[in-house]
Amino acid sequence: MNTPVDQDKIPSSVIHQGEVPFYRERGQAQPRAVQGIFRSLKWWLMAALLAWWHLAPFLRWDRGPGAPDQAIMVDMPGRRAYFFNIEIWPQEVYYITGILLIAAITLFLMSALAGRVWCGFLCWQTVYTDLFQQIERWVLGDRNARIAWGRQPMNAAKALRQGVVYALWAVVAAACGIGFTLWFGDAFQNLREIFTLQASSATYLFIGVIGGFCFLLAGFARERVCVYMCPYSRFQSAMLDEHSLIVSYEKWRGEPRAVANKDKDFTGRGHCVDCKMCVQSCPTGVDIRFGNQLACIGCGLCIDACDSVMDKFGLPRGLIRMDSSANLEARTGGGTPPGRRIVRPRTILYTVILGAVATVMLTALLTRSTTDVNVLHERSPLFVQMSDGGVRNGYVYKILNKIREDRVYTLTTEGISGASMDVVGGDANATQTELAVDKDSVGTFRLFVSAPDSSLKGARQPITFVLTEKGTGKVVRSESMFAAPDR
């Protein structure tokens, strides 16, 4: 376990222009437990996120006979991804691009509205670090007890308590790794195989990798991930403006700060009593009194800590608050704060882009074809000259039947007069122009298209394959190229 550091006792000699050193070579923050609205919100969101992570794979969804009944699953052997009624094939990887784009724009919009709300409340690093620190509190005590315990020399009692902490961390980390694997197969079956030691070696490997990173990052790296490793803290300022919510210290009200007793008269001095509770409660060791900093994840725990101190002294809450820099500047100058401005050019732009991408994704899903076709022209040879002067080209023709019913299609060509087609492979009962494809599968056929010399006008000319589903009459057209000798 890393040596704990008392971050509220940094010597004044290392403070330069109101900022604590960016890099702390040894030790880690040991935040104090606090109570308040932000702490309660973090607990509720932690419970919701962990419940989703571990329980969502057990949701069921009836897709008919022979189909997986797990609502959300990435079926690697079957090369499918399922999300309730949506089934994504490998050829539809562009949907993943759309999902990632929606996630990125949503993050930008969240940042423009509420600063680093993702980092402080929703990020998995924050959630598991919070949980690991709570385990430390249960076993070792609150902040002062943990700092004192960390400075003790190693002995049997200390090794035992440290072993208990590590063991509980390992249980949580293993649960994280197991939860990850449940999304990639039937959750009930996977869970049973894991605990009966019948799962594949790849399953245990992924449990070890995911659980191991959880153990290391949440148990040891902690705030270093947020401060030094995560790229989001580096470019977050580009997504904020003067109306974005950030954790702010009311310097005009708090300064000059000084230690005070409960019966102290605050006339002629600031309301900050320099108790450093805001620093002690911060999970990244930030002193918010020096202003907004890269290491601040916007969790608001310093607000809860400061409000509790203000209550003890009978002073108004809000010395540290979640507010915009525009409101802060207005109050500093004695003016009227402009209030919350949710609708502004930045948020409008993000909302419009998000709506456009979501609309495209929804339209693509609603108009999604149940039959897709891929046509690959053979490269070697490009063409074969026949004895009668005609030319023959070879193609690999793939039909993706995306529904769970066997289907039969007829295939013809357009664009080259007098062209004939031979089909090799597929259903043994199929004729030359009739192709049968099993349910929820890919039918692969080899085609030979022959054209008379009189119909060819150049080295390359377009050809269209027309696939018609028998019964419904739905047509899928695919453009390709027909190669011939140059003339």
Same domain (yes/no): 347, 426: no
Same domain (yes/no): 349, 413: no
> pLDDT at position 13, please?
39
Residue 362 in domain: yes
Residue 68 in domain: no
Residue 73 in domain: no
Residue 450 burial (10 A CB sphere; 0-12, 13-18, 19+): middle
Other beta carbons less than 10 A from residue 414's beta carbon: 12
Mean pLDDT confidence for 141-156? 90
Other beta carbons less than 10 A from residue 362's beta carbon: 11
413, 466 contact by CB (below 8 A): yes
Domain finish residue from 339, 368, 397:
368
Percentage of the residues of the chain whose pLDDT score is greater than 70: 93
**275 vs 272: CA distance, rounded Å:** 8
Same domain (yes/no): 255, 110: yes
Residue 76 in domain: no
Return the axis-axis angle of helices 94-114 and 345-366, rounded to nearest 10°. 160
Residue 77 in domain: no
CATH classification at residue 443: 2.60.40.10
**195-220, pLDDT tens digit by residue?**
999 999 999 999 999 999 999 999 99
331, 337 contact by CB (below 8 A): yes
Mean pLDDT confidence for 141-149? 90
Residue 344 in domain: yes
Same domain (yes/no): 111, 1: yes
Same domain (yes/no): 218, 350: yes
Percentage of the residues of the chain whose pLDDT score is greater than 90: 49
Distance of CA 28 to the CA centre of its chain: 26
Residue 339 in domain: yes
Residue 351 has pLDDT above 80, yes or no: yes
Name the token pair of 116: 């680093």
Residue 227 has pLDDT above 50, yes or no: yes
Domain finish residue from 368, 387, 418:
368
Other beta carbons less than 10 A from residue 299's beta carbon: 25
> pLDDT at position 218, please?
94
145, 139 contact by CB (below 8 A): no
**158-192, pLDDT tens digit by residue?**
999 999 999 999 999 999 999 999 999 899 999 99
Same domain (yes/no): 322, 200: yes
Residue 328 in domain: yes
> pLDDT at position 24, please?
53
> pLDDT at position 11, please?
45
Same domain (yes/no): 430, 388: yes
- Please tell me the least confidently modeled range out of 118-122, 342-346, 367-371: 367-371
Domain residues for the domain of 376 are 371-483
> pLDDT at position 27, please?
54
Helices (H) and strands (E) in the chain, counts: 15, 16
Same domain (yes/no): 47, 175: yes
Q: pLDDT band at residue 266, thresholds of 50, 70 and 90?
A: confident
Same domain (yes/no): 308, 386: no
**78-110, pLDDT tens digit by residue?**
888 899 888 888 878 888 889 999 999 999 999
Q: pLDDT band at residue 282, thresholds of 50, 70 and 90?
A: very high
**412-459, pLDDT tens digit by residue?**
898 888 888 888 754 433 335 788 898 888 899 999 999 998 888 888
Global pTM reads: 0.82
Name the token pair of 435: 């192709």
For the sheet with 80-83, list strands across it: 72-75, 80-83, 86-88
> pLDDT at position 38, please?
96
**357-414, pLDDT tens digit by residue?**
999 998 888 888 888 899 999 988 889 988 888 899 999 999 999 888 889 999 989 8
Domain finish residue from 368, 386, 419:
368
> pLDDT at position 19, please?
45
- Cα–Cα distances (Å) from 40 to 31, 45, 250, 316, 418, in that order, read 16, 9, 23, 21, 76
> pLDDT at position 316, please?
92
Same domain (yes/no): 239, 314: yes
Same domain (yes/no): 203, 236: yes
Q: pLDDT band at residue 487, thresholds of 50, 70 and 90?
A: low
Residue 476 has pLDDT above 80, yes or no: yes
Same domain (yes/no): 381, 364: no
As for how many domains the chain has, the answer is: 2
